[in-house]
Amino acid sequence: KEKLLKIQDLSVEYDTEISTVYAVNGLDMELGYGETLGLVGETGAGKTSTALSIIQLLPEGIGFVTSGSIQLDGVDMLNTPEETIRKMRGSTVSMIFQDPMSALNPVMTVGAQIMEVLKIHHPEQSRAQLEARVDEMMELVGIPAKRKTEYPHQFSGGMKQRIVIAVALACEPKLILADEPTTALDVTIQAQMLGLINDLQKRLNTAMILITHDLGVVAQTCEKVMVMYAGEAIEYGTAEDIFETDQRHPYTQGLFNAIPKLNEECDRLEAIEGMMADPTQKPKGCRFADRCKYATAECRAQQPMRQVGPTHYIRCRLFDPMQSAR
Ligand code: SF4
């Protein structure tokens, strides 16, 4: 079956006055219609740059895709006019940004903001039809439709996040890119929000890439998982491959060890020591080598992804590749 998203050998660089930052290096990824993928890693791992490349919103004049291809719903995103891409934002792909306030216009009512997206993508519909759809979107995210005449500041943080989701879902995109949509919220609201996104995603058969540093969130919501480290995918598989296995990349293992367990003293929390690889250096060999307790000279050579199970890939020399490689 045709895939919704196919990324091959994607590399992204940021050119600043001081240096070049290699944000993403040789990334491959596939996502089917309706599938959910958790993109996990620390700040600076390249998760957001990957998402911004997909929706073609890398900071202009600074961020560049330097190699690779991105096919989204049959469209070659890197070789398509901006006007077509603009139409795809909202109708094919939507992004939920980290900070709800930056995504909402403070001087427009929330109803008008949902309406604005709908109007762009459904110019043929009457005002009454669009109004009805605004009401429906408000109710869908659990806010009474009569509040559509209010402004963003009249809502709590959790409510604002719901409105951002309503705006993102208004045109029923085929893919949602959700960049840590819950970090600013307290734990209870966080759980509700994730439940809501998951529920909507299932009802509308929307695919989702959830960007997070939180493995617990991924376990609850995602079918596939990609772990990124310093611009590279270092592990990729189904949620079972990652969560129910004894084969894990040492970095992924470190992420698991860093999760505080209930009933355990906090001082048992084992942070991953060391700094992430310098992003201004072009990668050579394993980027995790400076922090890895298993590192040897061999690790400094190029490390390809190795297939260790039917759907499980790890970029580390410790694992024997499966005989029947892909
Ligand atoms: Fe550690 Fe070497 Fe594996 Fe990298 S390739 S994670 S340094 S053992």
pTM of this structure? 0.87
CATH code of the domain containing 18: 3.40.50.300
The answer to whether residues 80 and 163 belong to one domain is yes
Which of 207, 222, 237 lies at the terminal end of a domain, its last residue?
222
Whether 218 is covered by a domain: the verdict is: yes
Least confident of 2-16, 141-155, 169-183, 306-320: 169-183
Using the predicted structure, report yes or no on whether residue 130 has a pLDDT greater than 70: yes
Which of 222, 254, 280 lies at the terminal end of a domain, its last residue?
222
The answer to whether residues 22 and 162 belong to one domain is yes
The answer to whether residues 61 and 18 belong to one domain is yes
| Mutate-to-test residue for ligand 1 from 302, 305, 317, highest number of ligand atoms within 8 A of CB | 317
Q: Distance, CA 213 to ligand 1 centroid (Å)?
A: 21
Residue 188: per-residue pLDDT: 67
The answer to whether residues 317 and 252 belong to one domain is yes
The answer to whether residues 198 and 270 belong to one domain is no
Q: Distance, CA 102 to ligand 1 centroid (Å)?
A: 39
Whether 318 is covered by a domain: the verdict is: yes
- 159-188, pLDDT tens digit by residue? 888 898 888 888 889 999 988 765 556 666
Residue with CA closest to ligand 1 atom 3: 316
- Three-state SS string over the chain comes to CCCCEEEEEEEEEEECCCCEEEEEEEEEEEECCCCEEEEECCCCCCHHHHHHHHCCCCCCCCEEEEEEEEEECCEEHHHCCHHHHHHHHHHCEEEECCCHHHHCCCCCCHHHHHHHHHHHHCCCCCHHHHHHHHHHHHHHCCCCHHHHHCCHHHCCHHHHHHHHHHHHHCCCCCEEEEECCCCCCCHHHHHHHHHHHHHHHHHHCCEEEEEECCHHHHHHHCCEEEEEECCEEEEEEEHHHHHCCCCCCHHHHHHHHCCCCCCCCHHHCCCCCCCCCCCCCCCCCCCCHHHCCCCCHHHHCCCCCEEEECCEEECCCCCCCCCCCC
Distances (CA, A) of 217 to 68, 194, 220, 253, 315: 30, 8, 5, 16, 23
Residue 320: per-residue pLDDT: 85
Give the C-alpha separation, 143 to 193, whole Å: 13
The answer to whether residues 85 and 16 belong to one domain is yes
Which comes out higher in pLDDT, residue 150 or 300? 150
CB-count burial class (<10 Å; 0-12, 13-18, 19+) for 186: exposed
The answer to whether residues 311 and 211 belong to one domain is no
The answer to whether residues 206 and 253 belong to one domain is no
Residue 261: per-residue pLDDT: 54
Distances (CA, A) of 6 to 22, 49, 60: 21, 16, 23
Contact 42/213 with Cβ under 8 angstroms?
yes
The answer to whether residues 17 and 153 belong to one domain is yes
The answer to whether residues 206 and 98 belong to one domain is yes
Whether 264 is covered by a domain: the verdict is: yes
Residue 250 Cα: closest atom of ligand 1: 6
Using the predicted structure, report yes or no on whether residue 135 has a pLDDT greater than 70: yes
| Mutate-to-test residue for ligand 1 from 235, 276, 286, highest number of ligand atoms within 8 A of CB | 286
Domain of residue 43: give its range: 5-222
- Return phi, psi of residue 162, to 5°: -65, -40
The answer to whether residues 78 and 202 belong to one domain is yes
Domains held by the chain: number: 2
Residue 266: per-residue pLDDT: 43
Whether 230 is covered by a domain: the verdict is: no
Which of 155, 190, 222 lies at the terminal end of a domain, its last residue?
222
Whether 239 is covered by a domain: the verdict is: no
- 84-100, pLDDT tens digit by residue? 999 898 889 998 877 76
Using the predicted structure, report yes or no on whether residue 263 has a pLDDT greater than 90: no
Whether 232 is covered by a domain: the verdict is: no
Residue 326: per-residue pLDDT: 45
- 183-215, pLDDT tens digit by residue? 556 666 667 767 777 777 787 788 999 998 888
The answer to whether residues 197 and 288 belong to one domain is no
